[in-house]
Structure 1
Amino acid sequence: MDTPVEVIQSVKLDDENSALILLDQTLLPNKKVFLKLIEMKDIWDAIYQLKVRGAPAIGIAAAYGVYLGTKQSSADSYDELYHDFLKVKEYLASSRPTAVNLFWALDRMDSRFQKEQGKSVQEVKLALKNESELIRTEDEWVCEAIGEYALALLEPGWGILTHCNAGTIATAKYGTALAPLYLGQARGYDFKVFADETRPLLQGARLTAWELKEAGIDVTLICDNMASIVMKEGKVQAVLVGCDRVAANGDTANKIGTSGVAILAKHYKVPFYVCAPLSTVDLECQTGDDIHIELRPDEEITTKWYSEPMAPVGVGTYNPAFDVTDHDLITGIITESGIAYAPFTESLPEMFQKKRFS
């Protein structure tokens, strides 16, 4: 019998107060603070500053955000309301260029808006609210489905390595790459998890290690450059990571450092799985070369985490937020519709044919 594991809901809608409630992930693990955001500039900033992060959570926040922005409109006709909606949509879309869920969620809200043509302004606003809630509740199901498919590939007692944070605080529930760990914890699998620190923003140290420890899951924090030795020592039997975008050929963009982990896993013959909701799969993007990689500010490397600068003043920096893992390094891409294996140009479209939600 499963023993339920408590998870944290990091993105919520407070419709009564026309607010978006977010767990501020930049303050973890030292402070657990929920932000109450009403102004669009504050929601934009929360997405850009990684106060909300994780592809599914960004999508949910964007859906709630565009609904709340449209709700504030004083338009008295469908066309005027749509004009205001598009302004909010375009504004929020400018916050992060790489995470495809941001655009997926905004486009889905746009499609719902257009389906309501002929309805009153209040009816359209209600439809947008309902659609944003559907995006969240569907993501809960998606995460659990990914978790079940992934868990079927794992054995009790295995060592699992993960990079960045693809957990419950990055999604509606359970996470993607961490979903099988939560499900396994409930079923007594006794996984031993190794969490990469994930520089330069330390999502593994600050977020993954924190949420797994909170859930009572055995987690050991390692620096990024320690992944090789734990694989060599036989402590890792599988690697599970999330991602922000999957190209049609199976190339995946995830937090910087992921491709290095994949290279190590292939060398040590450790299966490397990418856990990706279909909303993250972009069949219009042919290869990883077509994925725009976001460059972040230099202070994230030089000063952000230190009381004094840890690099020479004025030194040049290169701070890409993501890298692309080549498809031939990936054992399988785990979606809510099943597991896609190479050739991904064939298996990924098949996942969409099995898709439960449109």
Structure 2
Amino acid sequence: MSSLDREDKGMPFLLKYENVAWYEDGEVRILDRRVFPTKKKFVHCTDYVEVIQAIRDMVTQSAGPYTAVGMGMALAAYQSKDKPKKEQIAFLKKASIELGNARPTTANRYRQITNRAFNVGTSAIEAGKNASLAIFEDTIESMNRRYSLMQKVGNNLVELFPDGSGILTQCYGETIIGTMIRAARKANKTFRIFNAETRPFLQGARLTSSCFVEAGFETTLVTDNMTNFILERGDIDFYTSAADSISMDGNIANKIGTKQIAILANRVGVPYFVTGIPDLDKENKEAITIEYRDPQQVLNLMGQRIALDGVKAIYPAFDVTPPELIGAIVTDRGVFSPYDLRRYLESGEKEEFY
């Protein structure tokens, strides 16, 4: 597939490539999801270190950093283009390590992208070619692969839902949301979407609900502490979320609060379907690192302090949901029990798509 071909056709605004992260002329432009949809504002980075900071500051999140680290590598190649070849390669190596560890829970996925970008850039440097362009084009190809592979996941997920189902989401699942929308349109299905708001950055309210309402779905926002009420009232037929990490023993890490919704859904008999690709390099839940973020991000909401000085806070970014609370894990290769992810490997090696 040529880098001129793109897999973002029919995707919501948030999932268009240029609106995730984009490298051009010595700059990486990243849509600031912290203020969307109130503002459509971009953060402009002229140093790859600024890309790292943007990721850590949640300018972009979910699968957004997968693109941002690739574009950051293109920027690093641009920053070092006037150095001798050996120094260019050393600079690019340093950038690949630092960008690849921008956040701990998903660092294994980031490193797949930055390591590949390093190899692509090194080959270009040694051949006397434009390393920034080579890495940029490789990042577009990575996005194409990810969108294409996740479309298979979206298709498999939509097949599970009868037309008119009530579906509860958690946080912002990014690519799966876009591919779910495209799959539903193709199958002529519609859903009633309920989005948990997702404190403290309100990704469900600002990002997920924006995508679904833009696509024409009946979209209802609920605060995080309303989920039990709507589950017990019978509004919800299925609960679904993406996963930032899926260990091979069937544990999944996702945005903090995912587990408590799974507990509530399990209590009333609402199945929970997780979407994603198993992390073959994470044997069990002990391999999942939980990131703890700045507690100030809990004490403030959209720039407004919401608690008195002296009040403490805690902010674990993710929690781990065990397999007994998961109805199925929906992948590109089909639907699997969380207790039997080894079967995912029976149809071949995991595809490279990050």
Length-normalised TM-score, structure 2: 0.87
1:80 and 2:87 aligned: yes
Task: Give the Cα–Cα distance (whole angstroms) in 1 for the partners of residues 101 and 159 of structure 2.
Answer: 38
Number of residues paired by the alignment? 340
Name the CA shift for 1:118/1:322 in 2 (closer, same or farther; >3 Å).
Answer: closer
Greater displacement, 331-340 / 243-252: 331-340
- Residue in 2 that maps onto 1:183: 183
- Name the CA shift for 1:104/1:339 in 2 (closer, same or farther; >3 Å): farther
The answer to whether structure 1 residue 304 and structure 2 residue 301 are counterparts is yes
Tell me which residue corresponds to 2:224: 224
Give how far 1:72 is off: 2.1
Please list, as runs of the form range in 1=range in 2, the aligned pairs for 1:149-228 lying within 5 A after superposition.
149-167=156-174, 175-177=175-177, 179-185=179-185, 187-228=187-228
What secondary structure sits across from 2:193 in the alignment?
A: strand
Moved more, 347-356 or 68-77: 347-356
1:197·1:223 contact (CA, 8 Å) conserved in 2?
yes
In the TM superposition, what whole-angstrom CA distance separates every residue of 1:46-102 from its partner, at most 9, and x where no partner exists? 111111111x3211110111122122212332x332211111122223421112432
Residue among 318, 321, 329 paired with 2:314: 318
1:338 aligns with 2:345: no
1:49 is matched with 57
AA aligned opposite 2:116? R
Distance 2:41 2:260 in 1: 33
Separation of aligned partners in 1, 2:127 and 2:84: 8
Query: Among 58, 61, 65, which residue is 2:68 paired with?
Result: 61
Matched position secondary structure for 2:265: helix
Cα separation, 1, equivalents of 2:153 and 2:179: 7
Residue correspondence of structure 1 range 5-44 to structure 2 within 5 A: 5-8=10-13, 9=16, 10-15=19-24, 17-44=25-52
Question: Structure 1: where are the runs of 5+ without partners?
Answer: 168-174
Q: Say which is worse superposed, 224-233 or 6-15, in terms of deviation.
A: 6-15
Offset from partner CA, 1:294-346 (integer Å, 9 cap, x none):
11112222123464x43232222221011011122112222223223242341
Contact 2:55 2:65 in 1 (8 A): yes
Query: Does the 8 A contact of 1:177 with 1:275 survive in 2?
Result: no
Larger mean Cα displacement after TM superposition, 320-329 or 89-98: 89-98
Q: For residue 146 of structure 1, what is the aligned residue in structure 2?
A: 153
The share of aligned pairs that are identical, in percent, is 27
Per-residue deviation at 1:187? 4.3
* Structure 2 unaligned blocks of 5 or more: 1-8
CA spacing shift, 1:214–1:316, aligned 2, 3 Å: same
Residues 71, 125 of structure 1: 8 Å contact kept: yes
Q: Structure 1: how far apart are the matches of 2:322 and 2:201?
A: 23
- Shift of the alpha carbon at 1:179? 2.8
**Contact 2:117-2:138 within 8 A present in 1 as well:** yes
TM-score by length of 1: 0.86
